[in-house]
Every structure is written in C-alpha cells, then in structure tokens.
Amino acid sequence: MDLAGAGFLKSRAIFPDNNGERRWARCVAHGEERRMDELIREFVIESQEGLDRMERCLTDLESRPDDAELLAEIFRTVHTIKGATGFLGFKGLETLAHSGENLLGMLRDGTIAADAHVITVLLDLLDGLRSILKRIEEEGGESCDGKELQDTELIRRLTALQTASTEAGAGSEREKCAAPLAKPESGRSQNESGANKADGHGTLPDDARAQGRGHGAEIAGVAATPPQSSAAESTLRVDVKLLNRLMNLVGELVLTRNQVLQATAADQGMTMLSRRLDMVTADLREGVMRARMQPVSNIFSKVPRMVRDLSHTLGRSVRLEMEGQETELDKSLLEAIKDPLTHAVRNALDHGIEAPAARVAQGKPEEGVLRLRAAQEGSHVVVEISDDGSGIAVESVRARAVERGLVAPERAAEMSKRELLQLIFLPGFSTARQVTNVSGRGVGMDVVRTNVEKIGGKVELDSQPGRGTTVRMRIPLTLAIIPALIVRSLGQSFALPQSALSELVHVSGEEAKRAIEWMEDAPVYRLRGHLLPLVILDRLLGAAAGDVGGREHFIAVLDADGRKYGLVVDGLADPEEIVVKPLSPILKSVGLYSGATVLGSAELALILDPGAMATMAGITVSERDNPGNRSDTDGEEASEFEYLVVSVGGRQAAVPLKEVLRIEQVPAARMEYVDRRPVLNFGGRLLRVEDPGGRLRSAASDASVLVVVCSDGARHAGIVVDQVLDVAKGSELMEAGSESAIPGLRLLCERVTSVFDLNLPSGRDATRCEEGFTQPAAEEQDGTNEPTMATSWRDAG
C-alpha cells in the first residue's frame, strides 16, 4: 500500500472482539492528513475506558485471585495502552505500561499469585497510568516535572515483585522478553521498537508520524485482517454535542408537529398523515433520548475501588453488593450524581459500618454490607445506598444540631425522628466525633442534597439505630424535558417546574380581598390554619404594586429546598412537558429564570426558578417549614398518609396523595377504547382509565370528565371521578373486637372512605383486574350498593 504523503491514519473504528477487548483497527487513507492531537485525544479516551475496566477487574481479582479471565482482561488493557504508545511516542507511559505488562504476564501464567500486595501495586500502576494520561490530555504531552521520579519508583516496585517472587530468575527473564511478543500483532511490536529507537526528544508528533509511515505496511496488515466478530461492530462513539443538537432539533420537531396537528385537526384528509407524523415524532424523540442514556454501572464501577481503599484506611471489613447496574440515566444526570454517590458511600463507610470488633460485640457479622441499588420507578430512577451499620442516633443528631446552633433548643426538643434526620442535610452538620480524612467535615450530605436537587431530584434518608442507614436519591429520567405547570402573569406565560409544586389554591375574585391578608407589606394566606408567606409574581417581576383584591387569582404552593411559599399568579394554563432551553448568561444573571421553553402554542415561556424566587423575595426556612416538615406527607407512621378525597358515583373515595400525579379535565370525546375499555392518549403514552362511577357512559360526547392520574411505581392509571373534594390525613380503621386494621378503608373527613388500591396487575385479563381493583368490605360497611370497580369493568367490556 502506498503511504507516501498520506496521513497514516484516516479513521479508526472500535471492534470489540469476543473477549471484549477493543482493538485499534487502523485504516489507511490517501490524500488527507488526520490531525495528530485528535488521534491522541481518542487514544486517551480509549485508554481511560480501558483503565476503568481494569479497575473493576482488579477489585474483583481480590476476591477471585485465580480468575484467569480477569487477569487476561487486565493484561489486555495494559498491553493495548503500551501498544498504542509506541505509535504516539509517549516514552514514560510506555515504560510504565511495559513493566506492568511484565508483571501481569507472570500473573497470567501463574508464576506469581495475585495477593493483596500485588493488587495494591497494580492499583498504583493504574493510578500512575491514569495520571500520565491526564497530563497528556491536559498538556498534550507527558511532560515530566518530578513525576518521573514517582514513576521510576513505581517501576522499581513492579520489577521487585517480579524478581522477588520468582525462584527461577532466568525463567522470568525469558518470560519478560516473550510477553510483548506474545500477541499476534507483530506490526505493532515492531512499531514500538521503532519508536523506541527514534524517540530521543519526547513527544514530537512528526516523529511519531514518521514512525507510522515507516511501518505503514504492517499497520495496514493489521487493518486488513478484521476481527472475526461482526456482531460487536454495532457500537459507535458519538459526540455529546451532536446528541444535544439532535435533542434540540427533536424539540423543534415536536413543536412543529403540535402546530401541524392543530392546523389539520379539521381536515379529514390530513388526519392519517398527521397521525403518522405524530407517531414518528414521538418515536424519534424517544430514540434520541435513549441515545443520551448510559447505564448506572458507569458510575457504580468506581465504587468497588473506593470501598476497597476506604475500608483499608478505616479498618473496616465491607462487602459490596450492587444491583440494577443496567438501569439507564441521561448522561448529564449521571455526571451530576457522581459526587453525591461518592459522598454517600464515604459516609456509609465512615459513620455507618462499624469496625469489625464493634460489630462482633453487637452480635452482627464481622463483615459489613454496603448495598448500592438502582432501579427505574416510573419517570424516576431511584439510587439507594444502604449500609447495615450503626444507623444514625437521633438523640446525638438533636444534641449536635443544638450545639451547632442550627436549631433552637426548644424547637429541637419537639422535633420528630424524621424531622431530625432531615437536619443531617443542613450545611455544617456532622455527627462524627472527629473530622477524619474521609468525612466528618459536615459538607457531605449537604453536597448530596444540593447536587441532587439541582437536577430536580430528591434525597430521602432512612435510618434504624443499630440496623443501618439508607440514602435514597430519586432522579428524574431526563433533564431536558420536565413536567411543568404553565402560569400566567403580566399577560405572558411562565413555566413552573412541577417538582417544586405541592398544591394549587384557587382564590375567586370576591374571595381575594379576604383570602390574601397583609402583615405590613407582606402578603400571607391561611393554608389549613397556618400562615403561608405569599410572593405576588407580577410584583416580583417589577410590575407596579396594584390592588390584589377583586381579581381572580391562583396560589401555587411551592416548596424550594424547604422554603415553603405561595406564588400568586393571574391564571393557569394546562400542564405541559416542556423542553428546557438554556438562557444566555445575561438573562441568567437576572437570577429568576432557570431557562426558557417553547410552549405548544408556539409561545415562548420563561422557566421560573422556585428557589431563586424565594431568595429574591426574602423567604427563609421558617421554624415550621424546616426541612423536616417537608416530608410530612409520608408522616411518622405509615398509617398517617395523606389522601386525595374524591367523589365517585356519588360516594366518597380516596387516593393516596403521593400516588396522584395530576388531576386533568379531559373531554369525553378524547377517550378512546381498546377492547371496549377506556384508554387515554396521555402525553403520547397510553393511559389505562378506570371508570368506577360509570361516568363515561353517561357523559355527553361534548362534556368533559375529571381524571385523576395516579402512579403506582412504574405503572400509571387514570380514575374518572365526579369531583375532587379535599386533601385529608386519615388514620386506619380498627375493626371492632379484633382491633386489627381493615385494609382499604380510612376515616377521612369524618366519613368512612374506601381507598383505591392501585396495585394493579399488568395483565389484560379482566378478571385479574377485578381482583386488583375491588373495594374490600365497602358494601358491608355502609350497606350502599354503589358500583365497584369490578362492575364498571364488566359494564365497559
């Protein structure tokens, strides 16, 4: 192959072969020069991925020192790096990788055993390689200032291991020479030696390119024999920028589709076409979003090494269990939870799991368990970090909070356990008796919460003294598209992220004067007996202070990092899934908006930042609305749930509030039927609808019905109700005599109310649905013969 004048590398594809090794398959091009730094960049990315894999293998190796597969994988990684450095002329990297390879070769051949000491040295090798790669990435070359000494020391240790643990020195010598040649890619080996000879002055790209040309024939030879596996050729590296651009365009397409759908609604001839457009757009959007997804294992894989190092430093014995690593999350979100995960793991090891002796004394197994779990639940991904350690002593939290002046003593005395646990998330809090290297500086949990909330997620903490602690992060599936409530003020639309919205209050024109009360110049509203500070949106946005009375208003009750307040807006529009567009720095600096979006009506809307509005309006975390109070929905005891009280078929029924996603007014005509069962096209997804009151049958086609959209884990369902009555807390009803709780019934608003059981079977079999949706004992309780779920299903089908 003629290579003169041609860049020796045109393009490179990654071909993972059956063993998962990524080879550098090189294709030779004519007439075009490929930039060297681009090549180096790819090499760095590639190698870093290899090292990540190697790290995982090394920690596994510790528990399975004889696993030949693992050793082979590690060997391959180091070998691949070494092979590539020959081309690129990174001398230091090559030398280090070479000595590592020698040791690994001996491990692989069973000459020496992989004991803890060897693994420690190998992990150091890994760090050494990483730091050189980092330098290459940042500075474009492996310029050594004193670093070289460290590497030399490492190489000495690597070599020492080889000579120390082999009885037959001569044998190992032969081994050493054989190792680099053991692989079939002879072209590469020759290149290495070529580079070695020529490389006198570091990393001149031209030098390397010259080398490449000189050995072009061999390179081409490698490319000419493609790996056998073709199934694995189906992966491709794509720039995140390109994905973002695609996401943007899809957002645009969604918008155009909405407008087309509106414009063609009346035209029968266009219906099929626009339906098709609708479907393709939805699929495309899902596809692009999926392309941005990465498995959680990308960040979980860092944990084994961390646990290993930490448990050595802290003298803990810890077993790590990981579950749900295949769960996928948007790349940017994955990045954002990296730090929180690290902090939570550090905390678990430092404050959670006790020293082995202490564990034995408490009758626990010597080895502690750290469990990482990831799972998708509806539109969220839940990441749990739990340990079986000492748990959090609530009393010491109380004492520490008072000591640090975070809470007034009187207030602390009356705080519930759940409230106290929330204090751990406050900045400056740590129960560790002393500050260690690992944690205890009081920033950890604060960082966890801040980072997770920044991406619209939530953190929960659960702890049983003596039994362990669980940190649960709930992360939205994607960042780019969020559900939002559209509110109107100043004659324009604003989007309010639903994650911060806890409820909506309607204040009619005649009520307004009375309902919105004033303390000096601060408006307040009595929300279930408590004063809720109000922020009047148009005033916050600079409108002249007009009279609030006399006009209709809505109060959106928001909860921003524990700061609870009501946002007074002029009107509400339908909730929408909005595509978040970033704002220019100048508008970000206004400090109220977190982005902008284009609504279905093609109108632009600014996205309000609930936290920033609270700050601007001077709302602070009040005593009552302390972080602890925020989670009072799932109260102290399980029986104290809050319920949405509705009326269905003339009777009072309830849905657990935390399962309610939305309440929507839906035109009856929009209801469609599959197997004569009602379903709803809900934001592009099919929503199964239950109609226990038989309202759909009686509704005129131009009427609209009220649908409560509920979620139960990953499944959603809609329930047609007559009207929404209230939100109430309910306690379990005890059966007279037996004193056992009656399932499915609660006392709400002083009436016995049946609670919808949303634990629906997924099968399409109607009889199974009936079982899942009956209202136990309801008929016996009050004797009325109201239609139950079961009957309505029969009627509908």
- Least distance from other proteins to the Cβ atom of residue 563, Å: 20
Sign of the dihedral defined by the CA atoms of residues 412, 416, 421, 422, in that order = negative
- Least distance from other proteins to the Cβ atom of residue 2, Å: 40
- 245 or 312: whose CB is closer to other proteins? 245
Say how many Å lie between the first and final Cα of the chain, rounded. 72
Distance CA 95, CA 108 (A): 20
Distance CA 459, CA 196 (A): 53
- 606 or 644: whose CB is closer to other proteins? 606
- Least distance from other proteins to the Cβ atom of residue 536, Å: 13
- Least distance from other proteins to the Cβ atom of residue 577, Å: 16
- 244 or 431: whose CB is closer to other proteins? 244
| Interior angle at CA 156, CA 150 and CA 157, nearest 5 | 95
- 329 or 537: whose CB is closer to other proteins? 537
Amino acid identity at 625: D
**Pairing status of strand 604-608 against strand 593-598:** antiparallel
- 480 or 758: whose CB is closer to other proteins? 480
- Least distance from other proteins to the Cβ atom of residue 570, Å: 13
Amino acid identity at 61: L
- 179 or 480: whose CB is closer to other proteins? 480
Distance CA 382, CA 475 (A): 6
- Least distance from other proteins to the Cβ atom of residue 580, Å: 10
- Asked whether the beta carbons of 427 and 443 are under 8 A apart, the reply is yes
- Least distance from other proteins to the Cβ atom of residue 286, Å: 18
- 608 or 680: whose CB is closer to other proteins? 608
Residues near other proteins, by CB under 8 A = 248-249, 251-252, 490, 492, 541-543, 581-587, 589-590, 592-593, 596-598, 602-606
Q: Which helix (H) or strand (E) holds 380?
A: strand 380-387
Distance CA 125, CA 120 (A): 9
- 604 or 686: whose CB is closer to other proteins? 604
Q: Give bridge partners of residue 330 from the DSSP assignment.
A: 293
Q: Would you state the structure tokens that stand for residue 427, as one six-digit string?
A: 């900045």
3-state DSSP assignment of residue 57: helix
- 66 or 252: whose CB is closer to other proteins? 252
- 558 or 607: whose CB is closer to other proteins? 607
- Least distance from other proteins to the Cβ atom of residue 250, Å: 8
| DSSP calls for 145-169 | SSHHHHHHHHHHHHHHHHHHT-S-H
How many CA atoms lie less than 13 Å away from 216 in the CB half-sphere? 18
Closest CA to 343 of 458, 431, 474, 442: 442
- 248 or 502: whose CB is closer to other proteins? 248
Look at phi and psi of residue 744 and say left if phi exceeds 0, alpha if psi is from -120 to 50, else beta: left
- 604 or 674: whose CB is closer to other proteins? 604
- Least distance from other proteins to the Cβ atom of residue 548, Å: 18
Burial class of residue 246 (count of CB atoms within 10 Å of its CB; 0-12, 13-18, 19+): middle
Closest CA to 568 of 593, 541, 592, 595: 541
Sign of the dihedral defined by the CA atoms of residues 269, 270, 276, 282, in that order = negative
- Least distance from other proteins to the Cβ atom of residue 249, Å: 5
- 34 or 581: whose CB is closer to other proteins? 581
The 10 Å Cβ neighbour count of residue 447 is 16
Distance CA 766, CA 676 (A): 11
- 611 or 693: whose CB is closer to other proteins? 611
Which residues have CB under 8 Å from 219's CB, separation 6+?
Answer: 8, 26, 28, 187, 191, 212
Q: Would you state the structure tokens that stand for residue 380, as one six-digit string?
A: 């969220």
- Least distance from other proteins to the Cβ atom of residue 741, Å: 52
**What strands, in cross-sheet order, belong to the sheet with 530-536?**
501-507, 553-560, 563-569, 530-536, 522-527, 516-519
- Least distance from other proteins to the Cβ atom of residue 214, Å: 41
Q: Would you state the structure tokens that stand for residue 442, as one six-digit string?
A: 């009081």
Distance CA 187, CA 28 (A): 14
- Least distance from other proteins to the Cβ atom of residue 238, Å: 19
- Least distance from other proteins to the Cβ atom of residue 493, Å: 9
- Least distance from other proteins to the Cβ atom of residue 457, Å: 24
- Least distance from other proteins to the Cβ atom of residue 590, Å: 5
- Least distance from other proteins to the Cβ atom of residue 281, Å: 14
Report the residue count for the chain: 797
- 191 or 597: whose CB is closer to other proteins? 597
- 234 or 584: whose CB is closer to other proteins? 584
- 614 or 654: whose CB is closer to other proteins? 614
Q: How far from 72 is each of 14, 75, 313, 352, 552, CA to CA, in Å?
A: 19, 5, 29, 36, 72
Distance CA 345, CA 670 (A): 49
Characterize 455-483 residue by residue with b for buried, 16 or more Cβ atoms within 10 angstroms of its Cβ, and e for exposed.
bbbbbbbebeeeebbbbbbbbbbbbbbbb
The 10 Å Cβ neighbour count of residue 42 is 16
